[in-house]
Amino acid sequence: MGRGKIPIRRIENNTTRQVTFSKRRAGLLKKTHELAVLCDAQIGLIIFSSTGKKFEYCSEPSRMEQIIERYQKFTGNSIPEHDNREEIHNEMRKLRKETHRLQLSMRCYTGEDLSSIQYEDLDQLEQQLECSVNKVRARKNQLLQQQLDNLRRKEQMLEEENCKLYNWIKEHRAALEYQQVALEAKHQQEMERFPFSGEGQPSSVLQLGTLPSLLHSYHLQPIQPNLQDLSLQPHNYGITIILNYYHHMFFH
């Protein structure tokens, strides 16, 4: 089947219309370039899209201005130059008047040069100033309320963090107290195991000498050569027993 003809009318869908414009514009520019190169023709092509964007093509080495000027000479039509200097001057005068009026209005709002203003104008100016002050105060109160809300949220966050830290410290304090109690109990057990604790602690060297079987297990360490030499002397037997006792107490 052959390809059907597309009716030539405006495409209503914006996306489809833009896609069709891009494709056909590219094809038109391509055909224009081929015609200018193959036939050595001078061509100037100007395209404006529906959005106002301009596309143009000009065959080399000519420029678009040269082609337009040549077209004007050939047809006898010239584009009239619009002298808008008078229009610019009028617009400038209007702007000066508006600027002067605004400056006088600003001086009235600042309380300067009120001698030439009538009572009705002063009453109206007072009402406008009161309305402006009310708006300024409302905006100020709004900002203050926002800052107050932010401070309250920060205060709540700090209270929550403080509560968490308090619970953490409380838990760790209980654990430390438990460890301290356990250490004290262990220390008490070690003290109870020691035979000289409490009332049974010897009060003199003679009492130490009456416990040969108990002190027999207390011996000197090899790392104490001076004490070993001292223990070999018979007349230092009592001193040896005391040294063995304290050595066992601090090193076992």
pLDDT in tens, 2-27: 666 777 888 888 888 889 999 999 99
Give pLDDT tens digits for 126-174.
888 889 889 999 999 999 999 999 999 999 999 999 999 998 888 888 8
Supply the pLDDT for residue 83.
61
Which is more confident, 199 or 125? 125
Supply the pLDDT for residue 240.
57
Give pLDDT tens digits for 19-57.
999 999 999 999 999 999 999 899 999 999 888 889 999
Model confidence at 60, pLDDT cuts 50, 70, 90, reads: confident
CA–CA dist 108, 129 (Å, integer): 10
Under 8 Å between Cβ of 192 and 221: no
Give pLDDT tens digits for 83-92.
677 888 888 9
